[in-house]
Amino acid sequence: MKIDDLYKNFRNCSGVSTDTRKLQQDCMYFALKGDNFDGNQFVQKAFDGGAKYCVVDDTEVIINTNCIYVEDVLTTLQNLATYHRNAINIPIISLTGSNGKTTTKELINTVLASTYNVKATVGNLNNHIGVPLTLLSFSEDLDFGIVEMGANHQKEIDFLSGIAQPDYGLITNFGKAHLEGFGSIEGVIKGKSELYDHLKANEKTAFINTDDEKQVIQIGDYANISTFGTHLDNDCVITFDSANPYVTLIYDDIKIESQLIGDYNYGNIAVAVAIGKYFDVTSENIKKAIESYQPANNRSEIIEKGSTKIILDAYNANPTSMLAALHNLKQLNAENKYLFLGDMFELGADAEKEHQEIVDFIEQNFQTHIHIIGKNFYKTNSNASIYKHSSFEDLKPILKDLDLNNATVLIKGSRGMALERILDFI
């Protein structure tokens, strides 16, 4: 079926789905394949669950005229998303980066939503499937669509940019994330900068944090930019005020007091402020939006249990974000500090070196109550003040006996470590 004919069918549906467990009535079901499943095998279940059409790439599963055969379901989903993006023709803001993507996306969404009709990526659906699903959820009555894009190897951001075709774009930062796929920090910078390459090639606008020298270098002499940061010659001047523990900043002579911890969140907040200014959101609305945003889903949350203050940052971790969290804890005005740090994943050949560097930093800056968890941390060399646990199960007996009254606790690790389980023992 040609893409324009498929699109006509799509416009008569309530939306799209790739999971028969989460079907909308009258949706279009895309029978994707994975390593351990084949969506083609669930066509009857999809129709029984309310699907109006099923897009398949296996002729043997066609059971009625509402089965639409294509050569490749995933490619068709991606092509349909781009077709829809061009048909509704709303401004698209795309963002990527090593750390803070989802938080930044939510902040931008909150600021723009104070004035406009906006929709953004749900959660972190930011890959080759999530980006198309996000685009297909947008409608022509929106003023903006915000698309988060993630990557763990070269050319992925280039590919996703081709699908989303953004009018505006930004990179939160360049850090030591997904080194296994990118190969090095230089590979990370090159891979994330594919968004800049796409914007340049299509003469679109980039938002640049001039306090980040790497971003300035990567954008080069491209003229179509809007700058923000602490320098007075920026298009949007934003002054960092403090982060003890919550980030506050000054914009347009107004003090904005966020509910985000850590000076590493300054850039995430600043770009949301800058985008709000660029699109004529009032300073008062920007302030209200930023101050109303509360982090969730294990991202830089502060949780208080009795006299224990917990910094829960266990959604993900890499060497850059881990060091940022440790620097933040170090400068906090608290005496009784506890560290629970879990392994950082997807570091490839650099895993041993990067985990050891984190341990070396801890030894130089913290003296007591240090617990590191996971196979990689367990293999590091450390002094007797650091308690090493090969797994969470190894840590559990210790947790039951800890006295965390009047303590400030940092919990940080990669998603696979699921260190939020520590909360059950506090």
Query: Once rounded to an integer, what is the mean pLDDT over residues 248-259?
Result: 96
- Flag whether 84 is in a domain: no
The residues facing 338 across adjacent strands are: 409
Residue 397, pLDDT score: 92
pLDDT range class, residue 421, cuts 50, 70, 90: very high
Query: Once rounded to an integer, what is the mean pLDDT over residues 147-176?
Result: 95
Please state, in angstroms and as integers, the Cα–Cα distance from residue 123 to each residue in 101, 146, 208, 303, 402, following that order: 10, 12, 24, 21, 34
Query: Once rounded to an integer, what is the mean pLDDT over residues 143-163?
Result: 96
52 plus 142 within the same structural domain: no
- Flag whether 78 is in a domain: no
Residue 87, pLDDT score: 97
Average pLDDT, the chain: 95
pLDDT tens column, 352-369: 999 999 999 999 999 899
357 plus 392 within the same structural domain: yes
Residue 124, pLDDT score: 81
Residue 58, pLDDT score: 94
Where a domain ends, among 15, 40, 70?
Answer: 70
Residue 400, pLDDT score: 86
Which structure tokens are listed for 49? 């669950």
Residue 258 CA to residue 290 CA, distance in Å, equals: 6
- Flag whether 363 is in a domain: yes
Which structure tokens are listed for 63? 């059971």
97 plus 215 within the same structural domain: yes
For residue 370, give every residue at least 6 positions away whose Cβ sits within 8 Å of its Cβ, in sequence order, or none: 338, 339, 341, 362, 385, 386, 387
Query: Once rounded to an integer, what is the mean pLDDT over residues 137-149?
Result: 98
276 plus 325 within the same structural domain: no
Query: Once rounded to an integer, what is the mean pLDDT over residues 315-335?
Result: 91
pLDDT at 179 over 90: no
Residue 181, pLDDT score: 87
Provide the residue type at 421 as one letter: R
264 plus 282 within the same structural domain: yes
pLDDT at 118 over 80: yes
Q: Tell me the three-class secondary structure of the chain, residue by residue.
A: CCHHHHHHHHHCCCCEECCHHHCCCCCEEECCECCCCEHHHHHHHHHHCCCCEEEECCHHHCCCCCEEECCCHHHHHHHHHHHHHHHHCCCEEEEECCCCHHHHHHHHHHHHHCCCCEEECCCCCCCCCHHHHHHHCCCCCCCEEEEECCCCCCCHHHHHHHHHCCCEEEECCCCCCCHHHHCCHHHHHHHHCHHHHHHHHCCCEEEEECCCHHHHHHHCCCCCEEEEECCCCCCEEEEEEEECCEEEEEECCEEEEEEEECHHHHHHHHHHHHHHHHCCCCHHHHHHHHHHCCCCCCCCEEEEECCEEEEEECCCCCHHHHHHHHHHHHHCCCCCEEEEEECCCCCHHHHHHHHHHHHHHHHHHCCCCEEEECHHHHCCCCCCCEEEECCHHHHHHHHCCCCCCCCEEEEECCHHHCHHHHHHHC
Range scoring the smallest mean pLDDT among 130-134, 180-184, 307-311, 347-351: 180-184
160 plus 142 within the same structural domain: yes
248 plus 318 within the same structural domain: no
Residue 29, pLDDT score: 97
Range scoring the smallest mean pLDDT among 190-194, 296-300, 314-318, 389-393: 296-300
Range scoring the smallest mean pLDDT among 131-135, 272-276, 397-401: 397-401
Residue 245, pLDDT score: 85
Residue 344 CA to residue 412 CA, distance in Å, equals: 9
pLDDT range class, residue 280, cuts 50, 70, 90: very high
284 plus 308 within the same structural domain: no
The CATH number of the domain holding residue 49 is: 3.40.1390.10
The CATH number of the domain holding residue 345 is: 3.90.190.20
- Flag whether 343 is in a domain: yes
pLDDT at 384 over 90: no
- Flag whether 81 is in a domain: no
Structural contact between residues 38 and 50, judged by C-beta atoms closer than 8 angstroms? no
- Flag whether 80 is in a domain: no
Compute the Cα dihedral for 404, 354, 367, 379 and give only its sign: positive
Q: Which residue has the tokens 């993006």?
A: 85
What is the domain count for the chain? 3
- Flag whether 85 is in a domain: no
Residue 299, pLDDT score: 82
Which structure tokens are listed for 196? 């800049």
Terminal-residue alpha carbon distance, the chain: 57
Residue 206, pLDDT score: 98
Give the range of the structural domain holding residue 60, as residue numbers without chain letter. 3-70
Residue 77, pLDDT score: 98
Where a domain ends, among 270, 292, 314?
Answer: 292
Residue 49, pLDDT score: 95
pLDDT tens column, 283-316: 999 999 999 999 887 788 889 999 999 999 998 8
Residue 78, pLDDT score: 98
140 plus 189 within the same structural domain: yes
261 plus 365 within the same structural domain: no
**Other CB atoms closer than 10 Å to residue 44's CB: what's the count?**
13
pLDDT at 114 over 80: yes
Where a domain ends, among 268, 292, 316?
Answer: 292
Instruction: Give the orientation angle of helix 156-164 with respect to helix 73-88, to 10 degrees.
Output: 50
168-171 and 92-96: which strand pairing? parallel
Residue 152, pLDDT score: 87
pLDDT at 106 over 80: yes
Residue 426, pLDDT score: 87
Residue 136, pLDDT score: 98
- Flag whether 407 is in a domain: yes
pLDDT range class, residue 69, cuts 50, 70, 90: very high
pLDDT tens column, 214-235: 999 999 999 999 999 999 999 9
Residue 72, pLDDT score: 97
170 plus 285 within the same structural domain: yes
145 plus 260 within the same structural domain: yes
